[in-house]
Amino acid sequence: MSDKTATKAIGAIAAKLGSDRVETAREILTCYAFDATNIKSLPFAVTFPRSMEEVRSIVSLCSESGVHVIPRGAGTGFVGGTVPVTGGVVVSMERLGKILDIDASQRVAVVESGVVNGMLQREAAKHGLMFPPDPSSLEVSTLGGNVAQDAGGPRALKYGVTRDYVLGIEFVTWEGRLVEPVCPGVGSRRWDPLDSLLTSSEGTLGLITKIWLRLLFVPKELVTVLAFFGTTVAAAGAVSRVLDCGVLPAAVELIDSVAMDCIKAFVDVNIPSGAGCSLLIETDGREGEARESMAVVRKVLDGAGVIDVRVAESQAQREELWRMRRSISPSLARIAPSKINEDVCVPRSKLPDLVEEVNKLGRKYRLRVPTFGHAGDGNLHVNVMLDRRDKDEVRRAEAMVGELFEATLRLDGTISGEHGIGITKLEYLPRQLGPAGVVFQSRIKRAFDPGGTVNPGKVIVQS
Amino acid sequence: MSDKTATKAIGAIAAKLGSDRVETAREILTCYAFDATNIKSLPFAVTFPRSMEEVRSIVSLCSESGVHVIPRGAGTGFVGGTVPVTGGVVVSMERLGKILDIDASQRVAVVESGVVNGMLQREAAKHGLMFPPDPSSLEVSTLGGNVAQDAGGPRALKYGVTRDYVLGIEFVTWEGRLVEPVCPGVGSRRWDPLDSLLTSSEGTLGLITKIWLRLLFVPKELVTVLAFFGTTVAAAGAVSRVLDCGVLPAAVELIDSVAMDCIKAFVDVNIPSGAGCSLLIETDGREGEARESMAVVRKVLDGAGVIDVRVAESQAQREELWRMRRSISPSLARIAPSKINEDVCVPRSKLPDLVEEVNKLGRKYRLRVPTFGHAGDGNLHVNVMLDRRDKDEVRRAEAMVGELFEATLRLDGTISGEHGIGITKLEYLPRQLGPAGVVFQSRIKRAFDPGGTVNPGKVIVQS
């Protein structure tokens, strides 16, 4: 793809859709050059379609001259999935932002792919409904991005991930063809291999334009507690015991002491002396159920070495605890200017081993490694803090991440709990998939994108 | 594929695995020539592997000479999915029947693909757990078959279908290669496009040998009622109102008067005069919850023209109601020697229209059409009864099914609520998928089975 062909494609798009649909000014391109990884690569242009038809026009005009297209939601991803590594044309979905329908009776929402997760949450709540996937980025990230990455969140423990709520996907293929879902929302069965593939395709198989999502009734009662432990290993051990007690909490989040320190600025939480880690636990259900479930959980915590338990007494206190949890990622900037954020995931029973491994690696490489995440799922967000100007620190951080992935695979875990593969974990994927898995990946990619022009160089690599 | 090459392949299999792994006697072949559709086509041979390795040997020896392989569970399917339409070698999974593990703490079961659904239900129950998918065939059908067809059942309304419980699939490819799942059961996220594709592949992409399944806690309380209505249209109308009342029943099953008549022989149910249809409704949950939910449901039924409501007072009565429901399909033999069983599915609000359409078509074609099924999902099992010796009746029945599918598509429905496509619905599939969907189907088939030797002639057709 030469600049000349790209210029021609961009000209054709502007001529067809209007010049306000295309941006090539460097200051604009810069905003679309990276995601939350801070890995940066400038696109050739950014486009802002306002309808599915405009997405089709953009993609087919690019496809005609082999120009790469990179779909983009809000750019909150942690794996570089939307970074335009080969240049090309970014197709930003931010103006495809309409909730088209909420059918309260069928409990189905139909949305354009640029709708922000939190916007759907609020609209659904008006009908007594909720959309369970709740990544920390929910006030920013788009549903199209959530689907493409199969986003999770704290509630995944009880309610599953985005995949569990996708009823149908409308998408545009590499050549600008439209594919509509089969009977989305009809019946309990969703026989559509394409929906399955597009969900978690990380934008490499097509451009998602419209989504049918299943909603659930909002639980009537929520009880939230923050439980403190002496060490992260002790907290990790308590997680397994909580999950074995016969009630399934809606969330079991771990926050280690480094992360706790960072968020003190955001929330007035009085950490008891001797506390080295905390668990944020929520139960939910109908009236009385959440309280009863939490009573069972608290009995288990008492037997698992808990130091102190704080109960959110009001909705305001509950929201404060969750705001605190969601603030961890941004608050880490207080420690160091950069971080490598990995989300490794192991069988829950091996969580204490993973935590010990992280501690050991932090000491070995002399790095601060605040750790938190969806402990109930065995999923930890390991944040390796660094200053990218310090070349030695960068080298140590990268070596540590490599060892972390090795340890995760050794513990029968997966290198991505929920963030995806993108570009940052690509080199580790073959070990996880095995040779047959890699072959099928590339065959599936070829079936959807024979020219390799849709979000190239990412998780699904062409052979 | 000539008989000579097939004979050679069979000889090689017997030589490698032992002659007890292969059967070619006509009386045995006959048993493996059909499924519940009664469509019959003799295989060349039937094989009985006892391990994944033996499945690999059989498939690779067949693959070398282009002999077709047809995976088979228990043959309870309603669409001819396992009928060996091109002859070939049936690979029966019935001796791959071990439950390998039930991890009560992680709530994960690992099973060989020939394990019968009901066997897992009983083993899981010992740990206070359940596997929600519960097709009527559950005492016969295998989990491999359930996964391949993405089976549903009455509980799908609340708990979803098999797809929602698959954590990982081990399968053998067309050439006898083994593909293992990535970290099955680790975390909430299941990033594995292959699992998604194999589930509901109807045996056309590979041979499933081992499955990791998610289990749920058994609900503490169940309340089951049988509610009678004057007409099927009235009952269908009540379904929407029940589903809009803010509680989600575990099951809402419709049984029309013809079906009720058939099952009277199985169960002592006193049908009130004037009753033309009934709904079997179940609520579940923790202690007190199921009763409270049912109170809400009953208030709705009262306002929706219910004639009479029978409450199952004991576990024995409850089981009797469900046995009755599960007996419908076999009991229809009392009306006519054959039936065409279709499972069309429409948006729930259009259920009364579908029921009227079925009544109209039954009158037009002078056929008895007992109708029942998962009304809460908008999914009806329409049984066109016939005597295949009566050529005129066969012609009328086939014409009626065609019109039924047309009507379903017109009502924005799907031609398969849960039974799949197989061979019986193949000609209607392109209309449902659209041209782009058909293209992707054949590309996916080619990616998995380039030679077209795995269960050929079925839902996923090669272009």
ipTM of the complex: 0.89
With CB atoms and an 8 Å threshold, state whether A414 touches B246.
Answer: no
Q: What is the pLDDT of residues A72-102, one digit of tens each?
A: 999 999 899 999 999 999 999 999 999 999 9
Q: Which of A150, A416, A447 sits opposite B447 (nearest CB)?
A: A447
Distance from CA of A411 to the nearest CA of B (A): 10
- pLDDT score of B12: 97
pLDDT of residue A418: 84
CA-based nearest residue to B217, from B119, B129, B300: B129
CA distance A414 to chain B (A): 6
Looking from the CA of A303 toward its CB, the CA atoms found within 13 Å total 9
- Collect all residues of chain B within an 8 Å Cβ-Cβ radius of residue A127: none
pLDDT tens-digit profile of A211-244?
999 999 999 999 999 999 999 999 999 999 999 8
List the alpha helices (DSSP H) in B213-314: 232-243, 257-263, 289-302
Residues of A in contact with B412 (CB under 8 A): 183, 186
Which chain A residue has its CA at the smallest distance from B107's CA?
Answer: A244
Residue A128 touches chain B, beta carbons under 8 Å: yes
Q: Output the CA angle A261-A267-A272, nearest 5 degrees.
A: 55
Q: What's B298-366 look like in SS3? A: HHHHHCCCCCEEEECCCHHHHHHHHHHHHHHHHHHHHCCCEEEEEEEECCHHHHHHHHHHHHHHHHHCC
How many angstroms separate the CA atoms of B386 and B335, rounded? Answer: 9
Contacts of B165 in chain A (CB under 8 A): none
Cross-strand bridge partners of residue A91: A47, A71
Q: What is the mean pLDDT of residues A320-325?
A: 86
DSSP for residue B114: T
Nearest to B32 by CA among B20, B47, B43, B21: B43
Q: For the range B9-15, what are the long-range contacts, defined as Cβ-Cβ under 8 Å and sequence gap of 24 or more?
A: B9/B61, B9/B62, B9/B64, B9/B65, B9/B67, B9/B89, B10/B44, B10/B45, B10/B89, B12/B61, B13/B47, B13/B57, B13/B58, B13/B61, B13/B62, B13/B89
- In whole angstroms, give the CA distance from residue A242 to residue A249: 9
User: pLDDT 10s per residue in chain B (463 long)?
Assistant: 678 899 999 999 999 999 999 999 999 999 999 998 888 999 999 999 999 999 999 999 999 999 999 999 999 998 999 999 999 999 999 999 999 999 998 899 999 999 999 999 999 999 999 999 999 899 999 999 999 999 999 999 999 999 899 999 999 999 999 999 888 888 765 557 788 889 989 999 999 999 999 999 999 999 999 999 999 999 999 999 999 888 999 999 999 988 888 877 666 777 888 899 999 999 999 889 999 999 999 999 999 999 999 999 889 999 888 888 888 887 888 888 988 888 899 998 899 999 999 999 999 999 999 999 999 999 999 999 999 999 999 999 999 999 999 999 899 999 888 888 888 888 888 888 888 888 888 899 999 999 999 999 887 654 3
Which amino acid, residue B448?
F
Taking contacts as CB-CB distances below 8 angstroms, the residues of chain B near A374 are: 187-188
Alpha-carbon distance of A314 to B181, in angstroms, equals 44
Number of residues in chain A: 463
Question: A410 at the B interface (CB within 8 A)?
Answer: no
Question: What SS3 class is residue A172?
Answer: strand
- From residue B96, alpha-carbon distances to A327, A406, B10, B321 in Å are 50, 34, 20, 32
Per-window interface: B 7-66 vs A, CB < 8 A: none
Quick count: other Cβ atoms within 10 Å of Cβ A292? 16
DSSP state of B268: -
Instruction: Give the CA diameter of chain A.
Output: 69
CA dist list (Å): B343 to B416, B417, B459: 5, 5, 16
A157: which chain B residues are within 8 Å (Cβ-Cβ)? 188
What is chain A's Cα-based Rg?
22
Report pTM. Answer: 0.92
Residue A311 class from Cβ within 10 Å (0-12 exposed, 13-18 middle, 19+ buried)?
middle
